Amino acid sequence: MDTIAARLHAIRAGLPPEAQLIAVSKGQGAEAIREALVAGQQLFGENRVQEAQGKWPALKAGFPDAQLHLIGPLQTNKVKEALALFDVIHTLDRVKLVDALAHEISKGAKNIPCFIQVNTGHEPQKAGVTPEEADAFITYAQAKLSIIGLMCIPPAEEDPAPHFTLLRDIAARHGLPQLSMGMSGDYATALACGATHIRVGTAIFGERHYA
């Protein structure tokens, strides 16, 4: 049986009890997402504020326990919308963004938990602070926002394990308990390295569809 529900159950069956599965629904239509919601999935990830704004208000109306995680880059001009729609942000990566979020929260926006994204592979096309910048940035962000952990996306062509353990080591020295790491292709490795949140898209939903 190759359905969204069957794939979800198969992935969940292999997870340690404390690990959270985020179903990455970017590029998926409302029908596919509803199938996952009906199958009991509550955590979802989207990487674009605008795309999520188009799909999620209606879905959340029918499934009020659904939680939306922002897993893509956030521009400072979208901070207000992001805080209104998302429950967790995984992609804090610069001082200007920390300041913009703290400012909105001081004006009454929800103080949502955040992960800091670390660019463990020093890839120029990827967001995230470098491992060298991470300590100072984490300390800065912890003073202003509710920081719960670190997130990374290892380089596609490398063994992800050293990246996951690097992320775990940085988190440990700041007392950060959560690690958002692992996608469809490498989540088993991520779990073995201590992931608390895995972000899985295609292994649940199949190929993405963009207009």
Ligand X SMILES: *Cc1c(COP(=O)(O)O)cnc(C)c1O
CB of 40 to ligand X, least distance (A): 19
Q: Which of residues 28-57 bind ligand X (CB under 6 A)?
A: 47
Comparing CB distances to ligand X, the nearer of 111 and 202 is: 202
CB of 41 to ligand X, least distance (A): 14
Q: Is 189 in the site for ligand X (CB under 6 A)?
A: no
Q: Is 121 in the site for ligand X (CB under 6 A)?
A: no
Contact track, ligand X, 69-108, x by CB under 6 A: --xx------------------------------------
Q: Is 153 in the site for ligand X (CB under 6 A)?
A: yes
Separation between Cα atoms, residue 51 and residue 197, nearest integer Å: 22
Among residues 20, 165, 184, 189, the one that binds ligand X under rule CB under 6 A? 184
| Nearest alpha carbon to residue 44 among 63, 67, 28 | 67
To the nearest 10 degrees (0 to 180), the angle between helices 30-38 and 49-62 is 40
Neighbours of 2 (CB within 10 A): 6
Q: Which range touches ligand X (CB under 6 A), out of 10-18, 56-64, 118-126, 194-202? A: 194-202
**Residues forming the site for ligand X (CB under 6 A):** 24, 26, 47, 71-72, 153, 183-185, 199-203
